[in-house]
Amino acid sequence: MQGNKARSVVSILDLSTDEINNLMNVADEIDKNPEKYQDKCKHKILSTIFFEPSTRTRLSFEAAMLSLGGSVISTPDSSSSSAAKGESISDTVQVISNYAHIIAMRHPKEGAPVVAAMKASVPVINAGDGGHFHPTQTLADLLTIRRTKGSLSGLTIGLCGDLMFGRTVHSLIEAMLRYSDNKYIFISPNELRLPEYMRDSLNKSGVEWEETSSLEYAVPKLDILYMTRVQKERFFNEEDYVRLKDTYILDEEKLSTAKKDLAILHPLPRVNEISTAVDNDPRAKYFYQTLCGKQMRMALIMMLLGIK
Amino acid sequence: MNLDGVNNGIVLDHIKAGKSMIVYDYLKLWKLDCCVALIQNCQSRKMGQKDIVKIDELIDLDLDVLGYIDPGITVNYVKDGKAIEKKHLTLPETLTNVIKCKNPRCITSTEQELPHIFKLADNEKRIYRCIYCDTTSEATY
């Protein structure tokens, strides 16, 4: 399986806007006619290597490959992988390149998939690297927004919670900046505001954006509300985590001032930042988002394997 | 410019006053066997004061490192006592193993053999970004 350098997706910036739009079109086709795609990846193998615990993303990748008729090889968790013995990422992916046609990788260290993509001879998909990027979650988010709002332009988007370490937030912003006439409201405690490089991107693109610490202030203005969890694993200090984890909890009362066609998204897992009472609200789209994620991963795997 | 004392070698001119020792360290000029002269706080019409480094041998210089330390430096190559080539520097597009990523969450913090590579992100503000984790590093010299 080794050969020429394969194309990988480490950041959402690795995909052109046309490619993203095309992936969404393919995902829509998959949604309408799943049987047509059930053998597209027959005899192809996906390897999921996850150096950090994950249920949802790994299952989504594996379900995507199985739905395409392909096979999956995986390690149960990082403690049983060769990384636990001190093997470098570079060595690991060069070995796996001989076993699989494509790799989905999650790693707690930022930039690990960059190293993997440099060394692997098969495509590498970043399934999340620390607080950095999570491009396939972004693809899921984009498809959810397009399907629920009918467009990716002309929207007011609120992103709430951990905007500093929240990789899904950073990737979504980078992607949405490609579509016109969107406004952004960033809702977070001071300690978890957007990092500097994201502010640079926003300023360079010239979009309208503001920051607030009040969810109540932002809710009535929004077409999309993207909630995130304050992630314990991103903190070096337990006290900081405990202090910040319950800052924002979305409940029916806070939603009383929201637009009727608001779409509420969340990359999941949720802890308590969205009350379970909101689940029955038709504006809650976070479980539907996971279906969109699987279909976008199917479309991406096909694209990177050159299968039409 | 005074090229006295260099017959076949390199004169690094227009170094900001006080930076010649940094140039000396970064270029590892202490490793050379030839004569190396550091001249500090020379009078300069253009700069007021400047430093000059003279190297009495035509060595391969890492111009990226030099450009990073001070893009205003002029590199003069001297042969048989005459200046044969003059190079003006700019901030390099890529820096490899010149600066280290300080982000404890970066993959370079655990995989020690990885080269620390930074790309120029903002020429005006002299900001570089780690290619792995996007953490910024300002050119502070």
Interface predicted TM-score (ipTM) of this complex, two decimals: 0.82
Interior angle at CA B98, CA B92 and CA B103, nearest 5: 110
Q: Based on the domain organization, do A281 and A297 belong to the same domain?
A: no
- Count of alpha carbons within 13 Å of A186, Cβ hemisphere only? 23
In a domain, A205, yes or no: yes
Tens digit of pLDDT for each residue in B46-60?
Answer: 889 999 999 999 999
Cα–Cα distance between B32 and B55 in angstroms, integer? 9
Burial A98-113 (b: 16+ CB within 10 A, else e): eebbbbbbbbbbbbbb
Q: Based on the domain organization, do B19 and B57 belong to the same domain?
A: yes
Which domain covers residue A146, as residue numbers?
135-290
A16 SS3 class: coil
What pLDDT, on a 0 to 100 scale, did the predictor assign at position A231? Answer: 74
Please name which of A186, A232, A192 lies closest in space to residue A209, comparing C-alpha atoms.
Answer: A186
A205 SS3 class: helix
What pLDDT, on a 0 to 100 scale, did the predictor assign at position B100? Answer: 92
| Cβ pair A128, B123 in contact under 8 A | no
> Residue A75: left (phi > 0), alpha (psi -120 to 50), or beta?
beta
In a domain, A5, yes or no: no
What pLDDT, on a 0 to 100 scale, did the predictor assign at position A3? Answer: 46
pLDDT band for position A116 (50/70/90)? Answer: very high
How far, rounded to the nearest angstrom, does the alpha carbon of residue A307 sit from its chain's CA centroid? 23
What pLDDT, on a 0 to 100 scale, did the predictor assign at position B139? Answer: 67
Q: Average pLDDT in the A236-241 region? A: 71
Q: Based on the domain organization, do A140 and A114 belong to the same domain?
A: no
- Tell me how many domains chain B contains: 2
In a domain, B62, yes or no: yes
| B107 touches A at CB < 8 Å | yes
Tens digit of pLDDT for each residue in A64-88?
Answer: 999 999 999 998 766 656 666 678 9
Q: Based on the domain organization, do A88 and A231 belong to the same domain?
A: no
A88/B111 CB distance under 8 A: yes
Q: Based on the domain organization, do A186 and A266 belong to the same domain?
A: yes
Cα–Cα distance between A46 and A105 in angstroms, integer? 10
Tens digit of pLDDT for each residue in A11-28?
Answer: 999 999 999 999 999 999
State the Cα torsion A163-A126-A224-A277 to the nearest 10°: -80
Q: Based on the domain organization, do A152 and A281 belong to the same domain?
A: yes
Tens digit of pLDDT for each residue in B67-95?
Answer: 998 889 999 999 998 889 999 998 999 99
Q: Which residue carries 């969340």 as its tokens? A: A266
**CB-CB neighbours of A92 under 10 Å:** 22
Residue A240 clears pLDDT 90, i.e. is over it: no
Cα–Cα distance between A50 and A77 in angstroms, integer? 6
In a domain, B19, yes or no: yes
Residue A241 clears pLDDT 80, i.e. is over it: no
B109/A109 CB distance under 8 A: yes
Element (H, E) at A107: strand A102-107
Q: Based on the domain organization, do B110 and B84 belong to the same domain?
A: no
A70 vs chain B: nearest CA distance in angstroms? 31
Q: Average pLDDT in the A161-183 region? A: 90
Residue A278 clears pLDDT 90, i.e. is over it: yes
* Interface residues from chain A to B (CB-CB < 8 Å): 88-90, 107-112, 114-115, 129-132, 196-197, 200
Q: Based on the domain organization, do B31 and B78 belong to the same domain?
A: yes
pLDDT band for position A197 (50/70/90)? Answer: confident
| B105 touches A at CB < 8 Å | yes
Q: Based on the domain organization, do B115 and B69 belong to the same domain?
A: no
Q: Based on the domain organization, do A219 and A256 belong to the same domain?
A: yes
CATH number at residue B40: 3.30.70.140
Q: Based on the domain organization, do B16 and B31 belong to the same domain?
A: yes
- Tell me how many domains chain A contains: 2
Q: Based on the domain organization, do B52 and B83 belong to the same domain?
A: yes
Mutate to test the interface with B, among A107, A126, A132 (most CBs of B within 10 A): A132
A151 SS3 class: coil
**CB-CB neighbours of A169 under 10 Å:** 28
Q: Based on the domain organization, do A178 and A256 belong to the same domain?
A: yes
Q: Based on the domain organization, do A122 and A90 belong to the same domain?
A: yes
What pLDDT, on a 0 to 100 scale, did the predictor assign at position A84? Answer: 61
Please name which of A133, A242, A249, A125 lies closest in space to residue A187, comparing C-alpha atoms.
Answer: A249
Q: Average pLDDT in the A251-269 region? A: 95
The size of chain B, in residues, is 141
Which domain covers residue B76, as residue numbers?
9-88
| Cβ pair A194, A168 in contact under 8 A | no
In a domain, A6, yes or no: no
What DSSP line would sit under chain B, residue for residue? ---TT-SSEEEEEEEETT-HHHHHHHTTGGG-SS-EEEEEEEEETTTEEEEEEEESS-----HHHHHHH-TT-EEEEEETTEEEEEEE----SEEESSS----TTBGGGT-TTS--EEEEEETTTTEEEETTT--EEE---
In a domain, B3, yes or no: no
What pLDDT, on a 0 to 100 scale, did the predictor assign at position A233? Answer: 64
CATH number at residue A142: 3.40.50.1370
Tens digit of pLDDT for each residue in A21-49?
Answer: 999 999 999 999 999 999 999 999 999 99
Residue A199 clears pLDDT 60, i.e. is over it: yes
| B133 touches A at CB < 8 Å | yes
Q: Does A269 sit behind a cis peptide bond, omega within 30 degrees of 0 on the bond before it?
A: yes
Tens digit of pLDDT for each residue in B24-49?
Answer: 998 999 999 999 999 999 998 888 99
Q: Based on the domain organization, do A279 and A202 belong to the same domain?
A: yes
Q: Based on the domain organization, do B69 and B98 belong to the same domain?
A: no
Top-ranked range on mean pLDDT: pick from A212-226, A232-246, B72-86: A212-226
Q: Based on the domain organization, do B66 and B42 belong to the same domain?
A: yes
Residue of A89, A90, A111 with shortest CB distance to B133: A111
Q: Based on the domain organization, do A148 and A256 belong to the same domain?
A: yes
Please name which of A205, A203, A211 lies closest in space to residue A181, comparing C-alpha atoms.
Answer: A205
Mutate to test the interface with B, among A106, A109, A235 (most CBs of B within 10 A): A109
In a domain, A3, yes or no: no
Q: Based on the domain organization, do B84 and B107 belong to the same domain?
A: no
A109/B114 CB distance under 8 A: no
What pLDDT, on a 0 to 100 scale, did the predictor assign at position B123? Answer: 87
Q: Which residue carries 């502010």 as its tokens? A: A199
Q: Based on the domain organization, do B82 and B100 belong to the same domain?
A: no
Q: Based on the domain organization, do B41 and B108 belong to the same domain?
A: no
Q: How many helices (H) and strands (E) does chain A have?
A: 11, 9
In a domain, B2, yes or no: no
Q: Average pLDDT in the B112-123 region? A: 92
Q: Based on the domain organization, do B126 and B84 belong to the same domain?
A: no
